[in-house]
């Protein structure tokens, strides 16, 4: 395991819901692509957003950005034929990367429709369509549907056996959460890469609320730190950078070589964090990674 190596980065975005948000997304991508990341990813229907906007945006990113694009795809709220039609649409446009997820049913939907019982079956179905590069989710802390840590690991193994290339984790804030998962996976003979997903914390209340739903724990120590920063936007921004850099540096010391950022479509924070971690800002034209 190589320690303190140069880190590689990928960045996740969500679909814009207004013209203003769309402008911000393109601005964000324009700044982050100068760091020559491994890939950009576009979420799919997350938090009730429209799935078609996700597909359209992923296709536009694929056309316009020199960075490889991974389109997220879930089986939530659709039947198999519809989900696989989206996969074929991505394939024929030349999108080679998919982040395959079971997905969640939106709140208040009492007749949940899931095209696939879990991500395992979606991965297997995608593999039958093409030789996609497929990422799946992994959970350093138990997912709300977890049936136990041993079963979680077995479930993750089934996703790899079905054809996944790598796993990207749910966000976490303590390095040990990730290292426990990585080491348990290695002991279980899982050799595929598990990439830590990092969420820079800017708005602690929002992160706490979201974490309650997805099973991630927020360290008690964050409260006093953000209270001290108070309403000072600059102080909160610097704190967000400091916390994320500290977490990523701890992971790097443990041999982690790649980080996936949940950007929340905000470039400045992820750009500054990546630069603090040694990313190099390209000055010339950015070549296409395709």
Binding site for ligand FAD (CB under 6 A): 43-46, 72, 74, 76, 99, 101-104, 118-119, 137, 139, 143, 145-147, 151-152, 155, 168, 170, 197
Is 12 known to be catalytic? yes
Pair 74, 101: CB distance under 8 Å: yes
C-beta closer to ligand FAD: residue 94 or 144: 144
The pair of three-digit structure tokens given for residue 54, joined into one six-digit string: 């996700």
We find the least distance from the C-beta atom of residue 197 to ligand FAD, in angstroms, to be 5
CB of residue 224 vs ligand FAD: minimum separation in angstroms? 28
Between 34 and 143, whose beta carbon lies closer to ligand FAD?
A: 143
**Is residue 12 left, alpha or beta, with left meaning phi > 0 and alpha meaning psi from -120 to 50?**
beta
CB of 171 to ligand FAD, least distance (A): 8
Task: Name the token pair of 211.
Answer: 């974490």
What separation in angstroms does the CA of 129 have from each of 3, 39, 88, 126? Answer: 38, 22, 7, 5
CA nearest neighbour of 127 among 168, 70, 84, 81: 84
Whether 97 contacts 39, CB under 8 Å: yes
Q: 72 or 202, CB closer to ligand FAD?
A: 72
> What are the tokens at 104?
């969640």
Shortest reach from residue 225's CB to ligand FAD, in Å: 25
Known catalytic residues are: 12
């Amino acid at each position: 395991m190589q320690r303190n190596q140069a880190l590689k980065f990928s960045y996740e975005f969500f679909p814009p819901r207004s013209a203003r948000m769309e402008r911000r997304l393109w601005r964000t991508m324009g700044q982050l692509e100068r760091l020559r990341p491994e890939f950009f990813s576009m979420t799919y229907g997350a938090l009730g957003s429209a799935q078609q906007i996700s597909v359209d945006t992923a296709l536009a990113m694929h056309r316009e950005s020199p960075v490889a694009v991974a389109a997220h795809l879930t089986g939530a709220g659709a039947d198999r034929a519809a989900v696989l039609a989206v996969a074929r649409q991505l394939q024929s446009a030349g999108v080679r990367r998919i982040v395959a997820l079971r997905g969640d049913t939106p709140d208040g939907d009492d007749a949940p429709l899931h095209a696939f019982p879990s991500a395992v079956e979606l991965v297997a179905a995608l593999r039958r369509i093409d030789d996609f590069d497929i990422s799946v989710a992994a959970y350093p802390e138990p997912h709300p549907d977890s049936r136990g840590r041993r079963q979680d690991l077995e479930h993750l193994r089934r996703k790899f056996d079905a054809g996944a290339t790598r796993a990207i984790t749910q966000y976490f804030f303590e390095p040990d959460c990730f290292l426990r998962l990585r080491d348990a996976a290695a002991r279980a003979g899982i050799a595929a890469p598990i990439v830590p997903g990092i969420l820079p914390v800017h708005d602690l209340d929002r992160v706490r609320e979201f974490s309650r739903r997805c099973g991630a724990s927020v360290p008690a120590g964050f409260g006093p730190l953000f209270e001290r920063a108070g309403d000072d936007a600059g102080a909160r921004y610097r704190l967000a950078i400091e916390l994320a850099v500290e977490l990523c540096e701890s992971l790097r010391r443990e041999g982690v070589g790649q980080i996936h950022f949940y950007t929340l479509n905000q470039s400045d924070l992820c750009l500054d964090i990546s630069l603090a971690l040694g990313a190099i800002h390209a000055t010339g034209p950015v070549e296409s990674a395709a």
